[in-house]
Amino acid sequence: MSKMNPPDFKMTLGGVDFSDPEMAKRVIEIEVENIADGPDYFKVMLDDRDEYFAGGGKIKEGDSAKIALGYVNESCIDLIEGDVTGVESFRREYRRKVYVIRGFDGMHRLTRGRHRRSWLDMKDSDVAAQLAGEASLGSECDDSGIIHPYIFQNNVTNLSFLYERARRCGFEVDCHGATLRFKKPELSDPVCKLIWDESNLPGGGSMGNRLLKRCQFSTSTLSQVDEVTVRSWDPDEKKEIIGKSSDIHGSTMGGKKTGPQYAAAGSPSLKIQISDQPVRSVEEAEKVAYSILNQRASNFMTGFGASEGDGTIKAGKSVDVSFVGSEIDGIYYVARANHILKVGAGPGNGYTTEFEIRRTGH
């Protein structure tokens, strides 16, 4: 492996600041999971052999949490800011007592309770901002454009409802700190390069380049289509509403062909029709068609693996995979990143980032 500085972290849980060396010594393991379709999650394991935490109520449910990971002499990168939602104590034979703190980012507040209500003459982005405010979150919302005469939330959580609305207009839902983001997906420049084999690492290692520890890639054309048509009915105008899309966001992402292009070989038709999505205009139908097409296209090529820890690898970002194989190398969208720091110098310890990535072509 490349020569790396020792792992480092910055963390506050409730009123406990782990920059204090005595507190830092108690940290056994830190895990932060960042995913594209749900609240981000964290777990911290602490040495509590003297019951400093369990007995003193130093960290409890409802406390705030903030975690950043990195390396000594490098900046630690913020990974999560949220709330403690549960604590746990356990003992195992011949081992010290361990205190475990678990929690989520601010999006978990949108999972509390189910609601049945409606909005008149509003945009999805305006509804998202309203729901963020109800959860004491700020909001960053791109303009979703279409004013809907009627929007109905049918006995589901606010988060499930937001995901439903986001999928219809091709948006993503995420939470950065205490701010809910309801925005168009952005195919950004790669945040880092994931490289197989140390001989390909420039200068024996540099910031922005991380060695892969393991990886697995696969393709599937089973769900690939090259055109989606959404059909609905306008009861006021008494006419059919039709919207189509064949535009794949991000094209091949560095590959030679898209999934639908590979699937076309030997297939009589790659077109599908959707008629169970109520829409009120051609523009809305086209947005729904575009969203469905790109959800399918993005799952053509998927990868799983782990690399040297890097806090820039987050859901919604892009990474550049290199020197794995000509059919694999290229730009990938990060669907999930799991950052794990195990304190110690022995085998299996250190900072690792596990990931799930995908792209539209190869």
pLDDT at 217: 95
Per-residue pLDDT tens digits of the chain, which is 362 residues long: 456 789 999 999 998 999 999 999 999 999 999 998 889 999 999 999 989 998 878 899 999 999 999 999 888 999 999 999 999 998 877 678 999 999 999 999 999 999 999 999 999 999 999 999 999 999 999 999 999 999 999 999 999 999 999 998 889 999 988 999 999 887 778 999 999 987 766 654 455 789 999 999 999 998 899 999 999 998 888 999 999 998 887 666 777 888 888 888 877 778 999 999 889 899 999 999 999 998 898 899 999 999 999 999 999 899 999 999 888 999 999 999 999 999 987 777 899 999 999 998 88
pLDDT at 204: 45
In a domain, 170, yes or no: yes
pLDDT at 205: 47
pLDDT at 251: 66
pLDDT at 59: 93
pLDDT at 247: 84
Q: What is the CA radius of gyration of the chain?
A: 23
Are 85 and 125 contained in the same domain?
no
Are 16 and 87 contained in the same domain?
yes
Are 82 and 136 contained in the same domain?
no
Nearest partner of 313 among 255, 352, 349, judged by Cα: 352
Are 237 and 255 contained in the same domain?
yes
Are 24 and 94 contained in the same domain?
yes
Can you give the residue range of the structural domain that contains 23?
A: 7-104
Query: In whole angstroms, how far apart are CA 6 and each of 69, 206, 221?
Result: 11, 14, 43
Are 24 and 86 contained in the same domain?
yes
Are 93 and 168 contained in the same domain?
no
Are 232 and 159 contained in the same domain?
no
pTM over 0.85: yes
In a domain, 2, yes or no: no
In a domain, 68, yes or no: yes
Tokens of 148: 């809907």
In a domain, 151, yes or no: yes
How do beta strands 330-342 and 16-17 pair? unpaired
- Secondary structure of 296-307 in the HEC alphabet? HHCCCEEEEEEE
pLDDT at 3: 66
Answer with the one of 277, 297, 317 that is the final residue of a domain. Answer: 297
Contacts of 316 (CB under 8 A, 6+ apart): 36, 172, 174, 185, 186, 333, 334
Are 80 and 128 contained in the same domain?
no
Tokens of 215: 């990886």
In a domain, 126, yes or no: yes
Q: Which CATH number is 123's domain given?
A: 3.55.50.10
| Spatial separation of the C-alpha atoms in residues 6 and 148, rounded to whole Å | 53
**Domain tally for the chain?**
3
Are 48 and 89 contained in the same domain?
yes
In a domain, 258, yes or no: yes
Answer with the one of 297, 316, 349 that is the final residue of a domain. Answer: 297
Are 126 and 61 contained in the same domain?
no
Q: Which CATH number is 92's domain given?
A: 2.40.10
Contacts of 99 (CB under 8 A, 6+ apart): 45, 46, 47, 48, 53, 54, 59, 87, 88, 89
pLDDT at 206: 52
Distance, first Cα to last Cα, the chain: 28
Answer with the one of 262, 297, 332 that is the final residue of a domain. Answer: 297
In a domain, 328, yes or no: no
Are 170 and 87 contained in the same domain?
no
Nearest partner of 271 among 298, 302, 236, 244, judged by Cα: 244
In a domain, 59, yes or no: yes
Contacts of 62 (CB under 8 A, 6+ apart): 83, 84
